[in-house]
Each structure stands twice: as structure tokens, then as C-alpha cells.
Amino acid sequence: MSGTITMTASEVEDLASGALVAAGTREASARALARAVAAAEREGIRSHGLMYVPTYCEHVTCGKVDGQAVPEVAKTAPGALRADARNGFAHPAIDAGFEQLVPLARSQGVAALSVHNSYNCGVLGYHAARLAEAGLVGLGFTNAPASIAPVGGRKPVVGTNPFALAVPGEGAPALLIDQSASVIAKSELMVRARTGEPIPEGWALGPDGEPTTDPAVGLKGTMAPSGGYKGFGVGLLVEVMAAALSGANLGIHASPFSGTAGGPPGTGQFFLAISPAAFAGDGFGARIADLCAAITAQEGAHLPGQRRAANRARSDADGIPVPADLHARIAELAGGR
Amino acid sequence: MSGTITMTASEVEDLASGALVAAGTREASARALARAVAAAEREGIRSHGLMYVPTYCEHVTCGKVDGQAVPEVAKTAPGALRADARNGFAHPAIDAGFEQLVPLARSQGVAALSVHNSYNCGVLGYHAARLAEAGLVGLGFTNAPASIAPVGGRKPVVGTNPFALAVPGEGAPALLIDQSASVIAKSELMVRARTGEPIPEGWALGPDGEPTTDPAVGLKGTMAPSGGYKGFGVGLLVEVMAAALSGANLGIHASPFSGTAGGPPGTGQFFLAISPAAFAGDGFGARIADLCAAITAQEGAHLPGQRRAANRARSDADGIPVPADLHARIAELAGGR
């Protein structure tokens, strides 16, 4: 089958949800994850859209994810929430945590949520943006199986560990930063390894710690940190927040996010939600607008999150293009639901 | 005068404090800043040690800093503190804020402090480390006059804006990350501009946005962000937290930290203090030790903060070497106090 079909975000969500439920995911968890899948498609982040759904389903089937898990959220201190994802998907645990986090941050000025026994949370910025949509500055961290070595070393210690910052705007976030600690996503190496195309020097290191242009050698070695030791430092910041401070598995002990082996990865997330009203005095929105304008006024410069916002607008106007064979594959997983 | 004299940290503190008071700084503010100067000397961070004291004194004299300012700290929400440094030094405002921040974070699980109408806070890690010494995870941000342009642009939008993370250990922090958003400190360009030595490509860009090896051209242009757009993203994160969210001046509006022109810079800081007890469950210390060991076990790899810790031990054993002419200059500023 070839060609492309056009879907609405709501249709993408229903398709993904049906496949997840058919694989053995409880309805509420499937919905939480499917909403994020639809948001990724809407923002043009195909790698975390429908393309990922067969893997999610496979991970429920093989037991990497407990589809029936019901997350538990405990309030451990007046400004502190601790979520146990119970080896289910990350999304329902984060959703359950955010229900309490948002009002708590508004009343406390700042509040935080840690998530453990968790899983790959998909696009981290998706979660941070939801805090911004509630009028809060959202700062999120998520860890992953180790793939980046410290500068001078050869063994991976931290994952590609992104952080995300979302700043409230009119409706959508005024600013959304969502960036990993590596030069490039590991999936780019996987793509090149399949096609046999070399990678640019600086993307990855071989098992000997030396730079390589062979994607297969890079996949056996480590991902290069962005900006050398400072990129590793960002990855370490994320590892401390999302794993050590959340009570989750460190990346050096987590099972892979890909494949079916190793059981639940047990990785973690950490989210800070901050009320501008408590810290910023007057003119928070004006200062953010001023800062963003200093970037957008420069030809050739881009505001982080600008592309995703443009993709959202285009998806809402023209629909979301989905490869027909991918649609058929997921519809089959959904069993005609 | 030439040669080196050996001082204790306490002697460095007294020397710096005397000069600051003689310049017109109130005793408590001078002490707060002098403690940080002594800590920088003890950790081998000469650029923020006694070498900076004549500039601090000059900034009190010229009115960039109000030496007599008494900082005000307001509790704006159950977990939120807002400090007004009132155009005095940053250190006394941060100290006053931390007095309330530490107990607040312990009881609330997480608490935060914003500082506005502030100034260069020196070594950011010094402040974050004090939170770690109180058993809290400390995450700090401080902004600076704009010197880094967005990738693709030519005009600076954010400063070299560091973040710092300090993790509690036995006595000293187990881990201390303190890194700026630029490839290299601006002071390195100033040193090379004086000696006429070229800079490596990749450190700075000229006013035309093109890479340069001429430090003088770089000083007229912008500092290169570490890792390209991801380094700029880190600088933007810091700008949002330390300036926009703190009610401080954005870097694009702040007067310079060097020279005597422009009045108070009015920059800001933001500190998060997080209690591991509220978020981490059991084994926080063990996970941190495990993470650190994965780095230190690798020959050639370094744990962030390791060098500073080694310098502290050496300074305590052998004393702090201070150039005799610098000592004499500051003693003269202190007027024989």
C-alpha cells in the first residue's frame, strides 16, 4: 500500500487509542498516551507520532509496560507530589500528577512532581507546555537508558536526557525549549545504519571513545554530548533531577526503550511548576514578549518552539498527512475498533 | 613589587571585607561578598577572587552598586520568596533570602527565591553549594548583560548566563555543576585582546555574525554558544528564570558588569531548593554515589566540581597563594584596616 491519507488530530487520537486498548492498555491510560501521539503528529514530530504506536503496543504485549497499571500520586509535603507510574506508561502518571500539581503551584508559588517506575514520556515539551497553558512556567526533565559518556571516558553514563521549559503566552506557550543533551537524536543513527549512509563526524563516538562516521560503530559506542563537557553537564543535571531525585532507575541500570528485552525500564521524570505571580512582580508577560522579539526581529534566527507552533497551525488548517501503510498497520492493531 | 604571599581563607576574607567597607559598603554586605571572594580563592577560581575586589570597590564608588543598600525579602506565597537587592551587591540579598529559603524548602518539599535589582553574583556554584550543604538539591540561575546571539542572528540576546546544580554529599556537595552557556568565558577574550594572541575559531563571532580568531573583533561581536543552538537554549532558560521570572532587567537592557558607565545593571538570580526526602523515596545518596562512581571509575573522565574540591583541600593544607602586588593594592584600598 502506498500514498498518504489526511486525518484530524482527533482521528489520530482515536486510532492510536484503539490500538493501545487492543494491545491490553486500560482505556484511561490509552487516552492519555493517544492525546500525546496526536499532539506530536499535529506538531510535525513524526518520530513520536503514529510511527511509535506499534512499539508502544509491542511493549504492552511483551511486558515492558503494564498496560493495566493505575498510577498512584502521593502528596509528600505541602509543595511536593510523588507519582508512582507502577511500570505503566508515563503519560497517565504525569496526567494524574498534573491534576494536583497545577492548583498546588498556583497556591504555593512553586510545586514539583517526581515520577518513578516510569517509561519513555515521548515529547517532553508536550508535558511542559501543558503547565504553561495553565499559566505556569513549566520546567521538566526525563531520563533514558545511558548512551552518552563523560568527556574523556568511553562508557555511557547518562541518556540523551532532555530538559524542557515552557513559558505561558496567549493560549499556546510564548516560548517552548525542548532539547536533548546529545548533538543529535539516536534515531538518526538508526536511520543511517539502515541506509548505510555515513554520519558527520561529531555525532557519535565508537566503543574506543574515538569519533566515527560509521553509524553502526556509533550505535555500539556512545552519542556525542552537545558542546562537549557542557552537554554532558546538562545530561547530568537531568539525570539527577529525573532519576536520582525521583527515585527512578539511573540510565546505567535502565533496560532499553527499544526492543522487547529487559522488562520495564523504570526511568523517571521531574516537573517544576512555578507561578509568575509569586516571583516576577509586574510585567512578566511584557518581559517575555521583549525577549522573544529580540530573537524574532533578527533575520535567520529562530525562537525555540516556533516551528512546532507553525506545524500546529498548518495541521489544523490542512489536516495531518499520514502514510496509508502506517494507518493500515495501526488500524489492524486496533482490530477494526 | 613581585612574588607571592600565602594567606588563609580567613585572611583573604578580612582583606576583601576591609577594602569593600573602605569603599563605602556596609559591614554586613561586605562580609557576605568577602566570604564568597575567599571561597573563590580557596577553590582556585582566581578570576572571582581577590582579582575582582578592586572592581567591586570601584563599582561602589561610581554608583553601579549601592554599598549601603539593605536587601528586602518578601514571602509572597507559602513556597515563594522574592528578594529585592535594591541595587546593592547580590550576595547579601541571596544570603538574606537563603536564611528563609532553607527552612522553607525543608518544610514545603520545594521552595524558590527570586532576586531582582541585583548585580553579578560571582561564582554561581558558591550559592548553590550552600543549599547542598544544608541537605537540599540547589538549582540556581543568574543572568548577565547580553553577549550571545541566537544561531543565525548577529545581535546578542542573552548573557553567558550560567546555571548551577549542587547535590548534597558528606559535608561538601557530592556533585557541583556550574557552567555558562558560552563556549568560553568573555574574560578569556579580554586577556587575549591585551596580549594580542589570536583565539581559536569557535569561541566568538564578529559583528557580522562570522567566526573570528581576532579577540578584539570578538569583543565587538558576540560570544559563541556552547554546542550552537542548544547552548543558546540553555542561555535562554537562564534568562527566563533569572530575569523574566525574577522581575530583573533582561540582559538586552542591563548595563555592563565591567567599567563604570550605565548605573546599576539590575540583573537577577533565581534559586530552587528541593528536599530529597519529599521526592526521592529511599536511597537518594546511594543513587548519587552510584552515578558519580560511573564517571570517576573511567580514566580520563572528570566529575563536575572535582577540581574545585581538590583545590579546597590543597588551599586548606598549604594556604592560598596571592600575588604580592595584588595583596598590596587591596590593602591600600582597605586603607590599612
- Kindly report, residue by residue over A202-239, the tens digit of the pLDDT: 999 999 999 999 999 999 999 999 999 999 999 999 99
What does the CA dihedral B317, B318, B323, B327 come to, rounded to 10 degrees? 60
Q: Searching chain A, which residue's CA lies closest to the CA of residue B112?
A: A110
Q: Which residues of B touch A287 (CB under 8 A)?
A: 243-244, 250
What does the CA dihedral A283, A286, A291, A295 come to, rounded to 10 degrees? 180
Is ipTM strictly over 0.90?
A: yes
Q: CATH says B1-62+305-337 is which class?
A: mainly alpha
Upper half-sphere CA count for residue B290 (Cβ side, 13 Å): 17
pLDDT tens, N- to C-terminus, chain A (337 residues): 579 999 999 999 999 999 999 999 999 999 999 999 999 999 999 999 999 999 999 999 999 999 999 999 999 999 999 999 999 999 999 999 999 999 999 999 999 999 999 999 999 999 999 999 999 999 999 999 999 999 999 999 999 999 999 999 998 999 999 999 999 988 889 889 999 899 999 999 999 999 999 999 999 999 999 999 999 999 999 999 999 999 999 999 999 999 999 999 999 999 999 999 999 989 999 999 999 999 999 999 999 999 999 999 999 999 999 999 999 999 999 995 4
How many angstroms away from the CA of A222 is the closest CA of chain B?
14
Q: What are phi and psi of A178, to 5 degrees?
A: -150, 95
B82 Cβ under 8 Å from any chain A Cβ: yes
Contact between A76 and B279 under an 8 Å Cβ cutoff? The reply is yes
**Using the beta-carbon criterion (under 8 Å), do B301 and A250 form an inter-chain contact?**
no
Contact between A206 and A218 under an 8 Å Cβ cutoff? The reply is yes
Q: Which of A179, A244, A280 sits opposite B245 (nearest CB)?
A: A280
Give me the DSSP letters along A273-298.
EE-HHHHS-S-HHHHHHHHHHHHHTS
B283 Cβ under 8 Å from any chain A Cβ: yes
Q: Average pLDDT, stretch B302-309? A: 93
Q: What is the DSSP letter of B92?
A: H
Residue in the structure block whose three cell numbers are 506530536: A40
- Write out residues 163-192 of B within 8 Å (CB-CB) of A: 163, 165, 167, 175, 177, 179, 183
How many angstroms away from the CA of B151 is the closest CA of chain A?
6
- Residue of A188, A226, A246, A315 marked active site: A188
**Using the beta-carbon criterion (under 8 Å), do B280 and A226 form an inter-chain contact?**
no
Q: Report the C-alpha gap between B122 and B140 in whole angstroms.
A: 12
Contact between B288 and B157 under an 8 Å Cβ cutoff? The reply is no
Amino acid residing at B153: G
Q: Where are the domains of chain B?
A: 1-62+305-337
A298 Cβ under 8 Å from any chain B Cβ: yes
Residue in the structure block whose three cell numbers are 559563541: B224
Please check the confidence at residue B268 and state whether its pLDDT lies above 70: yes
**Using the beta-carbon criterion (under 8 Å), do A281 and B116 form an inter-chain contact?**
yes
Q: Report the C-alpha gap between A127 and A109 in whole angstroms.
A: 19
Q: Which of B228, B229, B247 sits opposite A281 (nearest CB)?
A: B247
Q: Report the C-alpha gap between A22 and B164 in whole angstroms.
A: 46
| pLDDT value of residue A337 | 46
Q: What angle (nearest 5°) sits at the alpha carbon of residue B206, between those of residues A305 and B149?
A: 20
**Using the beta-carbon criterion (under 8 Å), do B233 and A283 form an inter-chain contact?**
no
CA distances (Å), origin A68, targets A92, A202, A305, B206? 11, 42, 34, 58
- Write out residues 40-59 of A within 8 Å (CB-CB) of B: none
Q: How many CB atoms lie within 10 A of CB B241?
A: 29
How many angstroms away from the CA of A294 is the closest CA of chain B?
6
Please check the confidence at residue B149 and state whether its pLDDT lies above 80: yes
CA distances (Å), origin A105, targets A203, B200, B275? 39, 46, 16
Three-class DSSP category at B152 = coil
Q: Which residues contact A5 (CB under 8 A, 6 or more apart)?
A: A321, A322, A324, A327
Contact between B324 and B1 under an 8 Å Cβ cutoff? The reply is yes
B304 Cβ under 8 Å from any chain A Cβ: yes
| pLDDT value of residue B337 | 46
A217: phi > 0 → left, psi -120 to 50 → alpha, else beta; which?
Answer: alpha
Contact between A159 and A266 under an 8 Å Cβ cutoff? The reply is no
| pLDDT value of residue A97 | 98
